[in-house]
Amino acid sequence: MIDLFVLNPLSVRIFLMADKKKLDTSPYKGVRDFYPEDMYVLNYITSVMRKTAESFGYSEYGASPIEPAELYKAKSGEEIVSEQTYTFTDRGGREVTLRPEMTPTVARMVTAKKRELSFPLRWYSISNMFRYENPQKGRLREHYQLNMDIFGVSGLDAEAEIIETAWQMMKNFGAKDDDFQIRINSRLILDDIFSSIGIKDSEKTVLLKIIDKKDKISSDVFADSIKKIIGNRSNELLNLFEVNQRILDHLGTDNPNVKNLIGLIERLDSFGIKNIQYTPSLVRGFDYYTDIVFEIFDTSPENKRSLFGGGRYDDIFNLFGGDVIPAVGYGMGDVTIRDFLTEHGLMPEYKSNTDLFICQVSPVSTQEISFLASRLRASGINVAIDLSKRKIGDQIKNADKMMIPFIVCVGEEEIKNKIYKIKNLKSGKENALEEKEISNFIKTSGV
């Protein structure tokens, strides 16, 4: 209840009926408010993503965050849909889900217009995703995610390009080559290894799960877990996983999947991408990836984790019937990237989008400075005027707090002489200018 009402007994009586608790001001569990400073960072992140994606010729698409629940049930296990997503029944009895990822949506869209789209297709999207689980570092209930996909190319050209965009993305965020590592593996190579030592399909799923954890658990636990599933065949498997190269040697360079992987790494190397690491234990879930998978890893000791990743997922189009469409792509979330930028000191400094703040000095009226502001906006700069009518010092202080780079105080003198002292709040320097010079001065100031 508001204090004002508490003072008045009559009001108290009236509002007792409502007797509402004070509303909580914090955001819903696991989601974020974006105050201007936060929005600035999000906008920075998405602008780098957008710029990079478009520099490779990718077109932006979008879709509603709400989808029929079947879209996810068909693809992933029933458990993920019921326990890890926001799924509910709408008023019309339809079961719907807030999208936890973009891939099913984009596959749906591509399939629907397959005949009129010109392949290969290069698409990207920056959209929010939802998942229902307890928040932890790098994983909230809502996050924004860039999705980069290339459809209609079945050879390694697609993988090479998509990984190059990921690498370029990191470079455009200011990362150096040794800040991160690109880990690559092939699901098909794992399959070949499994069949070469007689692993049954029924054992594969559990085995992949353990292999994926190899770097997170001790080698003893790893060996024991493997042994538990495949018994005495584990010796051979563990031996192969001891040294990365051993797996490739075991299958031989005539193996088409090995050939493909080596070709991809050589291609990337020729682009000047050197921070690549063949990582046989890289699995990435076990849902729809069919061949090459890759992950971008943060190499800093404090934040050793996967930043984002993706791979080839040709089979997902089976869901919608019809022909298979080859597809390679990845998803990159804003939360992990934000952590990465913070960790590596790559966060941009906040700056207001307002270029100039006009302080009002009495007896000049708000109307008079409004006219000036309006003319300046027409000349191409963003201008805010004071409405507080407080002391000049306070007006300047507020402008500075809002990180507005320039201010000008307008009073009788300025109106009479038509000369304005444009003050740079960071340096404290003032320049006396005519009105028509102001816009150009600010635009070329580099602030």
User: Which residues here bind RNA, judged by CB under 7 A?
Assistant: 26, 29-30, 72, 76, 80, 83-85, 100-101, 131, 133-139, 209, 216, 284-287, 331, 361-362, 390-394, 396-397, 400-401, 407, 409-414, 421, 423, 425-426, 428, 430
Answer whether 85's CB lies under 8 Å from 130's CB.
yes
**122/187 with CB nearer RNA:** 187
Least CB distance to RNA at residue 382 (A): 18
Q: In the bound complex, what is the minimum distance in angstroms from residue 194's beta carbon to RNA?
A: 18
145 a known binding residue? Answer: yes
The verdict on whether residue 131 carries a ligand-binding annotation is yes
Degrees to nearest 5, angle at CA 258 with 254 and 259: 65
Residue 247 vs 410, nearer CB to RNA: 410
377 in a known ligand binding site: no
289 known ligand binder: yes
**Alpha-carbon torsion 292, 295, 296, 301, what sign?**
negative
Distance CA 397, CA 429 (A): 16
Q: Phi and psi dihedrals of 295, rounded to 5?
A: -145, 145
Is 1 among the annotated ligand-binding positions?
no
Burial class (CB in 10 A: 0-12, 13-18, 19+), 10: exposed
Question: Do 314 and 308 touch, CB atoms closer than 8 A?
Answer: no
Closer to RNA by CB, 72 or 222: give it.
72
State the DSSP H helix or E strand holding residue 144, giving kind and residue range, or none if neither. strand 142-151
**Smallest separation (angstroms) from RNA to the CB of 140:** 7
Structure tokens at 287: 């849902």
Residue 244 class from Cβ within 10 Å (0-12 exposed, 13-18 middle, 19+ buried)? middle
Q: In this complex, which beta carbon is closest to RNA, that of residue 122 or of residue 143?
A: 143
The nearer residue to RNA, 292 or 410, going by C-beta atoms, is 410
User: What is the dihedral sign for C-alpha 425, 427, 431, 434?
Assistant: negative
User: Residue 149 annotated as binding?
Assistant: yes
SS3 183: strand
The nearer residue to RNA, 127 or 251, going by C-beta atoms, is 127
- Do the bridges between strand 121-130 and strand 59-60 make them parallel or antiparallel, or are there none, so unpaired? parallel
- Taking the complex as a whole, the smallest distance from the CB of residue 289 to RNA amounts, in Å, to 7
Q: Could you tell me which residues come within 8 angstroms of residue 197 by beta carbon, excluding any fewer than 6 positions away?
A: 233, 236, 237
For the bound state, the minimum distance from the C-beta of residue 366 to RNA, rounded and expressed in Å, comes to 15
Instruction: Please state the closest distance from residue 266 (CB atom) to RNA, in A.
Output: 27
> Least distance in Å: CB of 379 to RNA?
21
Distance from CA of residue 404 to its chain's centroid?
28
Taking the least distance from each CB to RNA, the nearer of 261 and 293 is: 293
Is position 133 annotated in a ligand binding site?
A: no
How, if at all, do strands 419-424 and 406-410 pair?
antiparallel
| Tokens of residue 228, six digits | 């538990």
Binding residue numbers for L-histidine: 101-103, 131, 145, 149, 284, 288-289
Binding residue numbers: 101-103, 131, 145, 149, 284, 288-289
